A and B are shown apart, each in its own frame.
Chain A
Amino acid sequence: SQELEQSPQSLIVQEGKNLTINCTSSKTLYGLYWYKQKYGEGLIFLMMLQKGGEEKSHEKITAKLDEKKQQSSLHITASQPSHAGIYLCGAAPSGGSNYKLTFGKGTLLTVNP
């Protein structure tokens, strides 16, 4: 079955610092999603990657999917307290009728002002 490993499990950074969160799959992915969850709230969609080598950016967050489509990284530049939350990667191992997301266990990000 599809397994996703996220690292680190938690991360504390000073405001203004850059950081990277990794997501590694045991299998080649059909699609890779990044979501952010704040405590007591729902999942906010950040980005979806499907092609090997693909890179997407939104504001200060950049996500990349490696060429083999088994590893993704989420990079935040000049972090702010508003970036704090749990970052979840979700992967779709295949398309078609069996389309579903398997999630990693999340990375808890704390940004100290």
Chain B
Amino acid sequence: DTAVSQTPKYLVTQMGNDKSIKCEQNLGHDTMYWYKQDSKKFLKIMFSYNNKELIINETVPNRFSPKSPDKAHLNLHINSLELGDSAVYFCASSQNRGNTIYFGEGSWLTVV
């Protein structure tokens, strides 16, 4: 069973569209994250949620809106997609802050 699962794995879409990436974890963790890996493979945190509450919101455009309907899910919605949004988006989770963070397999977003 996949511990942290993301869908879709690949997404190609046109500029200006709105898209969502879903993430679910079955580890019983209370903290979930979204990370972005750019074309240079640099991995950077975007958001962190603890018990459905937004804890960390790095400098991310307002077009990115995370939503956590429950502790096991953290979805990422992106409005008005731009070419620069093309990247790999990783969802992750951990139990309490300070413990091992487990990553999903990533979602490859290409904006054309």
Contact = CB atoms under 8 A, between A and B. Distances in A.
A96 interface: yes
Interface string A23-67: 000000011010100000111010010000000000000000000
Contacts of A105: 40-42
Query: Interface residue tally of chain B, by bracket?
Result: 20 to 34
Query: Interface residue tally of chain A, by bracket?
Result: 20 to 34
A102 B45 contact: yes
A95 B103 contact: no
Given A86-B41, A103-B43, A45 B102 contact: yes
A100 B105 contact: no
B66 to A, nearest CB: 14
Given A103-B43, A105-B41, A95 B98 contact: yes
A31 to B, nearest CB: 7
Interface in B56-112: 56, 90, 97-98, 100-106
B98 A100 contact: no
The 4 A-B pairs of least Cβ separation, nearest first, read: A99-B97, A42-B105, A43-B103, A103-B43
